[in-house]
């Protein structure tokens, strides 16, 4: 359709008819009959052998109905690497590792019983640093690593703490480096941070007397939860039903599988009873997953014209105690290690390292903010060292059509234009404007790129079906976690069927028994994947309608069209309302043709080729790339080190803007979240005990309205994605990726200081200014 009817417009948001928001409230209000309350017994030690677990005292507490331990459930789980058991069996690997759990009639009884579980520990040496973790004498977190089950493209190294290592080799790095006019090397550090979703983790499970399991959970991936539960407990998929109500935020922290196996284990010991496990806010910081830490060392060699000829990236990822999901972040960071730039000669190593810190996992951006923190500062350092404009240096070296990524993929005309994004934000923020050097104001720029980090067979499917009154129902299993998926799905369906959007009803909040399959709501893939599935299902629906209408009207199906709520034949001026076709068409004499009109549609990325195991070269390793850039304007108080981000300009090549207001919301939210991880957020682990020292919203700071920029300006490029629905590509995660690096670059522009470790606190800025004054 040449002129979109619904796409590109701010149609009313579709939020469904849910009476409650968030699984925590959902499970509290529904009052599942005879529901039990669970409490987890967690290790106080960061690393220790478990010598014995005694539960007799806990079992005698009035109201206790089940106590579960690792010896009873010695099952491994993990989406890519099965390195974690439901409960620790022979050793604990971080302070907070589950060792047992209790289910009781009241939360108070569960807590009382949990405190009575007796555990004998033998403390072991602990390590909280990924750099130290790769040393030969580092304490092994997983002595049995070599025996764990994992997918073929994850490569753990038994006998070490390395849970995955992806190598990138392109051209001849060492030979090119020897010929470079200038070489620069720096190390950048990123700490672990927490997701801090509004709604905490919660799951309710029941195992009936026949052994079938039903789970209600706040999760981003109902079918993945079912799949991993089936693998963990050796059950048929058909005997597990997973339901996901409205989810109150995820940011990757509810991807894959989390607390569900604990709830299921307890439910199996209390057959027929619902068991509810709710993680409270302090426990969220150490009892659920966090974003991984990173130490990145970059070496850049340039020629006399400022063109990068040799680039080395060495990433050491702090995966925490378990790497079941985090190993794929290591992989994604490796094949994206060149960021938005064309580097002809590359040596890249992305290495995941176990430590005795909280468990690292998916977080919005999936490793990209972390590597861009390093790469975008490195590009700025090089540009300023050779006296080149930072935006101009990026334009000289950035990717674009006909250029090749670090994995050797040659980008086509539909890949997106980071160069246009750079130009837009540089102009908007006024990068080249002159200002007094004593103003303590500065401007910085940073680029961003991300591909969906997913298996090659990650699929989405939908079901479209008509109701008797011509309402089109759209069943999706992607989770609307605030990004507006239901609204986008309604837009796509209305566009595909050329019908009023008011007649579309999107059914979300899926259960795995009756909804169509979807891999996961991660990787900024839903608008793209679910959108494609909707258009494919709509094509089948159109075919069904046209076939029936063709026979009813006695005209060729190829001459029919959809207009609002009718199938029309323009040449004759005749039409049939959808309501007369949706359940089958009945002729005047009573005989009927057709039948209820419904169709399923599915989408799976095509043409993806695995990375070479030694070089990571591939003609098409990922489905798509989304490029962007941000520029910021900051003001610094040299006396205190406090600074404000006054303005942010952001531009992304999104392929096609589907809903202007919602994409603006994604951008605003991403920028603020990026400012949070850039300016204040850090999970602090006590080096003596390994316990999280700031496990509360009093001590773990996130942005408030006081921290917002005065102005956020946004812009979008629309280079259509070749396989995108109406040309659209993902944008959900990308909006927070470059923000911290842009702020760091602006601080250097303002006062000549360079902060290499996140977060950029006022204390660090003041200390750097003092060192500068002393000539340090």
Query: Which residues are designated catalytic?
Result: 733
Q: For helices 660-679 and 739-751, give the axis angle rounded to 10 degrees.
A: 60
Q: Which helix (H) or strand (E) holds 269?
A: helix 260-269
Coil/strand/helix, residue 602:
strand
Cα(543)–Cα(597) distance, integer angstroms:
10
Angle, CA 612 vertex, CA 611 and CA 613 arms, to 5°: 105
What residue has token string 């990726």? 737
Q: Is 178 exposed, middle or buried (0-12, 13-18, 19+ CB in 10 A)?
A: exposed
* Structure-block tokens of residue 299: 């070496």
C-alpha 769/C-alpha 320 separation (Å) is 33
Q: What are phi and psi of 98, to 5 degrees?
A: -65, 135
What the block records as the tokens of 303 is 């020629």
Residues 6+ away with beta carbon under 8 Å from 450: 336, 365, 366, 368, 524, 625, 626, 730, 733, 734, 737
Give the start-end residues of each E strand in 637-757.
Answer: 643-653, 711-717
d(CA 98, CA 762) in angstroms, rounded, equals 37
Location of structure tokens 């579709």: 14
In angstroms, what CA-CA distances link 334 with 611, 716, 730? 11, 27, 20
DSSP string of 653-683?
Answer: E-SS-S-HHHHHHHHHHHHHHHHHHHHT---
DSSP 210: T
Among 138, 243, 287, 269, which residue's Cα sits nearest to residue 683?
Answer: 287
Instruction: Please tell me the distance from the alpha carbon of residue 187 to that of residue 757, in angstroms, as a whole number.
Output: 9
Compute the distance between CA of residue 333 and CA of residue 371 in angstroms, rounded to an integer: 7
- Cβ atoms within 10 Å, residue 702: 16
End-to-end CA distance of the chain: 63
Distance from C-alpha of 65 to C-alpha of 36, rounded to nearest angstrom:
8
Coil, helix or strand at residue 546:
helix
Are the beta carbons of 193 and 228 closer than 8 angstroms? no
HSE (side-chain half, CA atoms, 13 Å) at 767: 7
Q: Which of these, 334, 384, 373, lies nearest to 617 by C-alpha position?
A: 334
Which residue, 15, 172, 149, is CA-closest to 77?
A: 149
DSSP 55: -
Answer positive or negative: Cα dihedral of 698, 699, 701, 706. positive
Instruction: Return phi, psi of residue 343, to 5°.
Output: -115, 120
Using DSSP's 3-state secondary structure scheme, residue 566 falls into strand
For residue 559 the two structure tokens come to 């001459």
C-alpha count within 13 angstroms, C-beta hemisphere, residue 496: 26
Sheet with strand 64-69: strands edge to edge: 64-69, 98-104, 36-42, 275-278, 202-207, 213-217, 240-243
Measured over the CA atoms of residue 717, residue 721, residue 726 and residue 730, the dihedral's sign is: negative
């Amino acid at each position: 359709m040449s002129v979109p009817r619904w796409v590109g417009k701010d149609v009313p948001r579709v939020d469904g008819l849910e009476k409650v928001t968030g699984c925590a409230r959902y499970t509290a209000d529904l009052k599942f009959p005879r529901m039990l309350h669970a409490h987890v017994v967690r290790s106080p030690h960061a690393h220790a052998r478990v010598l014995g677990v005694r539960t007799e005292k806990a079992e005698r507490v009035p109201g206790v109905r089940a106590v579960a331990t690792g010896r009873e459930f010695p099952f491994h789980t993990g989406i890519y690497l099965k390195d974690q058991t439901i409960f620790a069996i022979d050793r604990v690997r971080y302070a907070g590792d589950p060792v047992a759990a209790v289910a009781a009639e009241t939360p108070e009884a569960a807590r009382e019983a949990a405190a009575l579980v007796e555990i004998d520990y033998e403390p072991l040496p602990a390590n909280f640093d990924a750099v130290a973790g790769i040393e030969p004498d580092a304490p092994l977190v997983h002595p049995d690593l070599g025996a764990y089950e994992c997918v073929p493209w994850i490569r753990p190294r038994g006998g070490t703490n390395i849970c995955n290592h992806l190598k990138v080799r392109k051209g001849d790095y060492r030979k090119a480096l020897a010929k470079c006019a200038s070489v620069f090397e720096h190390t950048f550090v990123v700490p672990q941070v927490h997701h801090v979703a509004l709604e905490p983790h919660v799951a309710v499970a029941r195992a009936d007397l026949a052994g079938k399991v039903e789970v209600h959970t706040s999760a981003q991936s109902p079918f993945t939860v079912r799949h991993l539960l089936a693998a963990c407990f050796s059950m048929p998929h058909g005997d597990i039903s997973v339901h996901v109500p409205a989810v109150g935020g995820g940011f990757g922290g509810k991807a894959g599988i989390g607390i569900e196996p604990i709830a299921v284990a307890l439910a199996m010991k209390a057959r027929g009873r619902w068991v509810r496990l709710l993680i409270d806010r302090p426990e969220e910081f150490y009892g659920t997953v966090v974003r991984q830490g990173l130490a990145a060392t970059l070496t850049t060699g340039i020629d006399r014209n400022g063109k990068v000829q040799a680039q080395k990236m060495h990433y050491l990822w702090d995966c925490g105690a378990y790497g079941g999901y985090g190993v794929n972040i290591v992989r994604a960071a490796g094949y994206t290690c060149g960021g938005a730039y064309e580097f002809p000669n590359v040596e890249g190593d992305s290495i995941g390292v176990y430590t005795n810190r909280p468990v690292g996992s998916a977080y919005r951006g999936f490793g990209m903010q972390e590597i861009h923190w390093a790469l975008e500062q490195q590009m700025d350092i090089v540009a300023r060292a050779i006296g080149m404009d930072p935006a101009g240096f990026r334009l000289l070296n950035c990717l674009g059509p006909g250029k090749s990524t670090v994995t050797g993929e040659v980008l086509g005309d539909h890949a997106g234009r980071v160069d246009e994004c750079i130009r837009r934000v540089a102009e908007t923020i006024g990068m080249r404007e002159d200002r007094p050097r004593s103003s303590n104001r500065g401007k910085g720029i940073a680029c961003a790129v991300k591909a969906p980090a997913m298996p090659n067979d990650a699929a989405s499917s939908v079901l479209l079906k008509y109701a008797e009154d011509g309402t089109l129902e759209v069943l999706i299993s992607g989770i609307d976690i605030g990004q507006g998926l239901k609204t986008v799905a309604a837009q796509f369906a209305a566009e595909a069927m050329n019908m009023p959007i008011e007649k579309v009803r999107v059914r979300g909040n899926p259960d795995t028994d009756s909804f169509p399959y979807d891999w996961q709501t991660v990787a900024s893939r839903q608008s793209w994947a679910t959108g494609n599935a909707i258009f494919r299902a709509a094509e089948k629906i159109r075919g069904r309608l046209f076939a029936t209408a063709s026979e009813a009207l006695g005209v060729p199906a190829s001459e029919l069209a959809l207009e609002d709520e009718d199938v029309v034949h323009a040449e004759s001026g005749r039409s049939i309302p959808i309501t007369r076709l949706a359940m089958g068409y009945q002729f005047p004499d009573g005989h009927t043709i057709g039948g209820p009109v419904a169709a399923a549609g599915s989408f799976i990325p095509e043409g993806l080729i695995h990375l070479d195991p030694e070089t990571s070269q591939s003609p098409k390793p990922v489905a798509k790339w989304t490029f962007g850039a941000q520029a910021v304007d900051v003001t610094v108080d040299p006396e205190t080190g406090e600074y404000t981000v006054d303005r942010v300009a952001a531009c992304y090549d999104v392929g096609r803007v589907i809903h202007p207001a919602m994409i603006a919301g994604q951008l605003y939210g991403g920028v603020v979240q990026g400012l949070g991880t850039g300016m204040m957020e850090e999970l602090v682990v006590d080096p003596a005990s390994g316990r999280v020292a700031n496990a509360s919203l009093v001590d773990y700071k996130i942005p408030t309205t006081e921290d917002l920029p005065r102005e956020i300006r946004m812009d979008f490029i629309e280079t259509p994605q070749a396989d995108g629905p109406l040309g659209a590509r993902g944008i959900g995660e990308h909006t927070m990726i470059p923000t911290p690096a842009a702020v760091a670059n602006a601080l250097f522009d303002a006062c000549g200081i360079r902060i290499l470790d996140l977060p950029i606190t006022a204390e660090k800025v003041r200390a750097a200014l003092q060192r500068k004054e002393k000539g340090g």
